[in-house]
Amino acid sequence: MVIIACLILLVQGLLLLGVVIRDLFDPRREAITMKLVFIVGFLLFQTSSGIFTLLTGETEASLELASPGLSGLKFAMLSSIFITLALLTYEKVPIGRRDADQESEVRIAGPGLLLLMAVTGILIGVLLKDVLVTIPILGALTEMLSTGSLAAAAGCAAWAWSLRPLNMMIGIPALVTIAGTCLLLLQNSFSRRGLVAAVIIVVWAAYFARWRYVPRSSLLSRALLVIVLGFPLILVQSATRGHRGTVALNEYFYRIATIDPRDVADAAASMASGQLAGGNSMWLLEHYPSTFSYMPLHSLYAFTTFVIPRAIWPGKPPGLGNEMVYNSGMTGVVREEQSLGPGIIGHTAVDIPFIAIPLYAFLLGCFLRALDQWVRRYPFSPFVVIPVGAATSQVLAIPRGELALFTFNAIAWIAGAVIALLPFRWLATRVSRDPSIETEEGEDEELEGRDDVQQHIRVLEESESR
């Protein structure tokens, strides 16, 4: 049964990879979307992670599988059903379709304003993260908002640089801003997701600012270059963060100077295995409800009550990742601080699968669709595109679990980015959209007939001429 499960997951992975490749190279489709980010996360944390555990037998400590063949087969079938329902919901449910048309009037920002927005985003992010965070109860929320503000700063800098890629008077401040943002996201942070957001939002912002209009092969090479340059930062953070807790920048620099190559190799292996989230999902499928009782719609309940601090609600139920540490009898860790990645299928296993799978697939499909439709409606407005892009790393992590935490964080990071950028909207240039756009002779065949692309190019040119 292990082989059958692996074959099902392999077919699942190939089909999902086909969707990614289709969207990346079909000029009629948007290349970079939240749907794409979610699929990549699902491939990493569920599909390939499940195959890894089934082929190697490697699992988290104390989470050994009693029947890997049967559990793997259940996991393969349920994950296939889930991702199919989620993508069908995304494609078929008419969320925002009526509002998806571009506005007749848009607001654009030139490089100077974008750099000012980036600096302000950093200042607001520092205020939220290092000052307001000390406020009891409220501080937990301001820390979430701060990451969205800092990610927005990196996005604004990338957008400005993309508008004038050869102008070093813009390029150097933009590069310094992006680097400074990455350092601030490292400061006193255990999670990698802030740094991942800073890397991804550079690609996201550059795509909507300019890369959207280049051949898709060029887009892919540029995006891969940014990811390749940013990946070592994420890898080093993973290898040096050690035990859970906050780490100051000077401590990071010391750890980097004394880093053990084996720690880097272990961090890379952990990423490649999807942090064993697939195996964790299988363990949950094995033990619910045979060993532990179902927790009906636990993730949905956790999401709706997430905003209530534990200081007010001492008996607030723990997240599933932390619950797994207790239930598995894991030793050698501080249980209150340790959390595992249950995987999104693991969440459905606990929350009653035949209810949770269709419900969560529907809700996530709607959520991703709503974000992408919002961007589609304002595709060259940094005041919309960048806040949505601030949530990319959380959407990427949703398939790993914690489902409630990452979904709430995604919304909070979007809100933090909006707080940082919205005051500047009134300084942006208003541009009326010409409804009658004709393709000029000699245009790239891939762009021919694409009124939206032609309009974007003309607005881009008008922005650069100001």
Reported confidence tier of residue 284, pLDDT bands at 50, 70, 90: very high
Tell me how many domains the chain contains: 2
Is the domain of 6 the same as that of 65? yes
- Predicted confidence (pLDDT) at residue 22 exceeds the cutoff of 70: yes
Per DSSP, 430 falls in state E
Is the domain of 257 the same as that of 110? yes
Is the domain of 53 the same as that of 126? no
Alpha-carbon separation of residue 283 from 5, 7, 350, 394, 459 (angstroms)? 15, 20, 11, 24, 53
- Where helices occur in 93-110 by DSSP H, the ranges are none
Is the domain of 172 the same as that of 300? no
pLDDT of residue 296: 94
pLDDT of residue 451: 47
pLDDT of residue 5: 95
Is the domain of 128 the same as that of 238? yes
In a domain, 390, yes or no: no
Is the domain of 255 the same as that of 324? no
Nearest by Cα to 49 from 276, 286, 340:
276
Look up residue 306 and give its two tokens: 């997430």
Among 248-252, 320-324, 443-447, whose mean pLDDT is lowest?
443-447
pLDDT of residue 83: 97
In a domain, 368, yes or no: no
Nearest by Cα to 418 from 466, 374, 455:
374
Is the domain of 289 the same as that of 358? yes
Report yes or no on whether pTM surpasses 0.85: yes
Is the domain of 245 the same as that of 152? yes
Q: What is the pLDDT of residues 49-78, one digit of tens each?
A: 999 999 998 988 788 898 999 999 999 999
> Burial, 185: exposed, middle or buried (Cβ in 10 Å; 0-12, 13-18, 19+)?
buried
Is the domain of 122 the same as that of 164? yes
Of 362, 381, 401, which residue constitutes the final position of a domain? Answer: 362
pLDDT of residue 106: 65
pLDDT of residue 283: 95
Is the domain of 315 the same as that of 283? yes
pLDDT of residue 453: 46
Is the domain of 339 the same as that of 242? no
Mean pLDDT over residues 305-334, rounded? 81
CA distance 290 to 284: 10
Nearest by Cα to 146 from 175, 122, 115:
122
In a domain, 19, yes or no: yes
In a domain, 386, yes or no: no
CA distance 292 to 346: 13
Of 326, 344, 362, which residue constitutes the final position of a domain? Answer: 362
- Predicted confidence (pLDDT) at residue 250 exceeds the cutoff of 50: yes
In terms of residue numbers, what domain contains 60? 2-96+274-362
- Predicted confidence (pLDDT) at residue 271 exceeds the cutoff of 90: no
Mean pLDDT over residues 351-357, rounded? 95
pLDDT greater at residue 102 or residue 166: 166
CA torsion angle 282 286 288 292 (round to 10) = -120
In a domain, 410, yes or no: no
In a domain, 398, yes or no: no
Q: What is the pLDDT of residues 115-149, one digit of tens each?
A: 999 999 999 999 998 888 888 778 778 888 999 99
- Residue pointed to by tokens 């906050």: 246
DSSP string, 369-425: HHHHHHHHHSTT-HHHHHHHHTTHHHHHHGGGS-HHHHHHHHHHHHHHHHHHHGGGG
pLDDT of residue 314: 80
Q: What is the pLDDT of residues 217-230, one digit of tens each?
A: 899 999 999 988 88
pLDDT of residue 131: 86
pLDDT greater at residue 307 or residue 458: 307
In a domain, 101, yes or no: no
- pLDDT above 70 as % of the chain: 82
Of 362, 396, 428, which residue constitutes the final position of a domain? Answer: 362
Q: To the nearest whole number, what is the mean pLDDT of the chain?
A: 84
Per DSSP, 317 falls in state P
Mean pLDDT over residues 233-252, rounded? 63
CA distance 419 to 142: 11
Q: Give the torsion sign (CA, 265, 231, 338, 77).
A: negative
- Predicted confidence (pLDDT) at residue 31 exceeds the cutoff of 70: yes
Is the domain of 330 the same as that of 190? no
Q: What is the pLDDT of residues 395-454, one digit of tens each?
A: 999 999 889 999 999 999 999 999 999 888 887 766 655 443 333 333 333 333 344 445
- Predicted confidence (pLDDT) at residue 33 exceeds the cutoff of 60: yes
Reported confidence tier of residue 200, pLDDT bands at 50, 70, 90: very high
In a domain, 387, yes or no: no
H or E stretch covering 429: strand 429-432
Mean pLDDT over residues 178-189, rounded? 81
pLDDT of residue 313: 84
- Predicted confidence (pLDDT) at residue 188 exceeds the cutoff of 80: no
